[in-house]
Amino acid sequence: MATIAVIGTLDTKGEEHEFVAELIRRRGHEALLIDVGALEPPTVRPDISREEVARSAAMDLPALVSRKDRGETVAAMSQGAARTLLDLVAQKRIDGVISLGGGGGTAIATTGMRALPIGFPKLMVSTLASGNTSQYVGVKDIVMFPSIVDVAGLNRISREILTRAAGAICGMVETEPVSSDDKPIIVASMFGNTTDCVQAARGQLEAAGYEVLVFHATGTGGRTMESLVETGMVSGVLDITTTEWADELVGGVLTAGSHRLEAAARSGVPAIVTPGCLDMANFGPPETVPNRYKDRCFYQHNPQVTLMRTTADECRRLGAILADKVNLSTGPVTVLLPMRAISVISAPGQCFHDPAADLALFDAIRSGLRSGIPLVQIDAEINDPAFAHACVNALLGNIAMKTGG
């Protein structure tokens, strides 16, 4: 028997949450009702009150409510939800969490869910479960379940949706994870333009006894990879594809934010870093490219993706950024430069071939790196087997240095 947290605003949506809780009980599990409402008294009795939730985040709920600032209240209860759920997981009191909500309820509950580990069952039934849900999901495995109708009473549609959602969260907690052989983990960043390199390196690392998790460098992929490094689960980082920094610099659509490349550096995880695909920034269809870039060099990757070649000046700035981030490293790190091409389409004869831009990038990295950080230049394109082999050897050497092996 598992215990599932049913968290929500029990003043406005108490009936709906109690309906889901009862469905969970019928499946043989326990339901732990948690109230994060703040407007009116709860319409059903919670197991954990809103006052307890507020106290967990050091909030004075009566003072908060008296100010009648809805935004401030939602923000405060979001912090309380995160702290409450984290404590319950740490105490092994819950095995999953489900919530139902509109805008405020979704914001509060998903803040709490994002605080929980990857793999812990999390399900949000929401009026907002369509379109861009990145602000609610973040880099965590939250299932967003469309409510179809508003979460406002029980009717023939909402009963059907909530019944399926209750069944889904019960199925999630009833399913045992696939057993792992506990191989040490290496994370790697990949793009279509670096696939051959990463795949070759992956095979060599797996042969050496590692499990390799590959993340697509699409913004979310980079952030997710960094968040996993921060958990302490990762033994090494194969950061072949740092392209997300190009999008961050020029305003592309696949940025991973200004903290990309910091997780391994600050936590001391052994790493290798290369300037893979810093020759390109990503936009949507051609009509979405900002007008200020109209005279630039473009490549239509597919109907939905337009790649823009970074200039020598942009590459110079990207090289300085990459060096600054690597300089934060507290563990063993090596920077490798593929001198002939940093992507498939920057090779000689390809549309993004620009030796001057590549040279500006490489020079900025060389001049920006602090002393003591190895810089290896390989006379090869990034997808040449020789470059992949050099990356693997450097990473394994850094891991050995860290572990004393």
129-186 pLDDT, tens digit per residue, is: 988 898 999 889 999 999 999 998 999 999 999 999 999 999 999 998 776 668 999 9
Q: Are 383 and 391 in contact (CB under 8 A)?
A: no
Per-residue pLDDT at 263 exceeds 90: yes
> What global pTM score does this model have?
0.81
Q: What does the pLDDT read at residue 179?
A: 63
Residue type, 333: V
**In angstroms, rounded to a whole number, what is the distance separating the alpha carbons of residues 199 and 189?**
11
Q: Are 145 and 126 in contact (CB under 8 A)?
A: yes
> Sign of dihedral through CA atoms 293, 299, 303, 304?
negative
Q: What does the pLDDT read at residue 398?
A: 98
| pLDDT, average across residues 230-248 | 96
Per-residue pLDDT at 109 exceeds 90: yes
Q: Which segments within 181-233 are labelled E, that is strand?
A: 185-190, 211-216
57 pLDDT tier (thresholds 50, 70, 90)? confident
* Weakest-pLDDT range from 121-135, 244-258, 327-341: 121-135
| Tokens 């399926």 -> residue | 164
- % of residues, the chain, pLDDT over 70: 99
All domains of the chain, ordered by start, with CATH? 3-174 (3.40.50.12020), 185-403 (3.40.50.12030)
Which tens digits make up the pLDDT trace of 352-372?
999 999 999 999 999 999 999
Per-residue pLDDT at 224 exceeds 70: yes
Q: What does the pLDDT read at residue 70?
A: 79
Per-residue pLDDT at 392 exceeds 90: yes
**In angstroms, rounded to a whole number, what is the distance separating the alpha carbons of residues 267 and 328?**
10
Convert 240-305 into a string of H (helix), E (strand) and C (coil): EECCHHHHHHHCCCCCCCCCCCCHHHHHCCCEEEEEECCCEEEECCHHHCCHHHCCCCEEEEECCE
Pairing of strands 375-378, 333-338: parallel
Of 71, 36, 41, residue with least CA distance to 57: 36
Per-residue pLDDT at 256 exceeds 90: yes
| pLDDT, average across residues 294-314 | 95
Per-residue pLDDT at 231 exceeds 90: no
Q: What does the pLDDT read at residue 64?
A: 76
Burial 193-203 (b: 16+ CB within 10 A, else e): bbbbbbebbbe
Q: What does the pLDDT read at residue 49?
A: 96
Of 335, 380, 320, 351, residue with least CA distance to 200: 380
Sheet strands side by side (includes 185-190): 211-216, 185-190, 234-241, 271-276, 333-338, 375-378
**In angstroms, rounded to a whole number, what is the distance separating the alpha carbons of residues 234 and 214?**
12
| pLDDT, average across residues 58-78 | 83
Pairing of strands 280-283, 122-126: unpaired
| pLDDT, average across residues 273-277 | 98
**In angstroms, rounded to a whole number, what is the distance separating the alpha carbons of residues 367 and 17?**
59
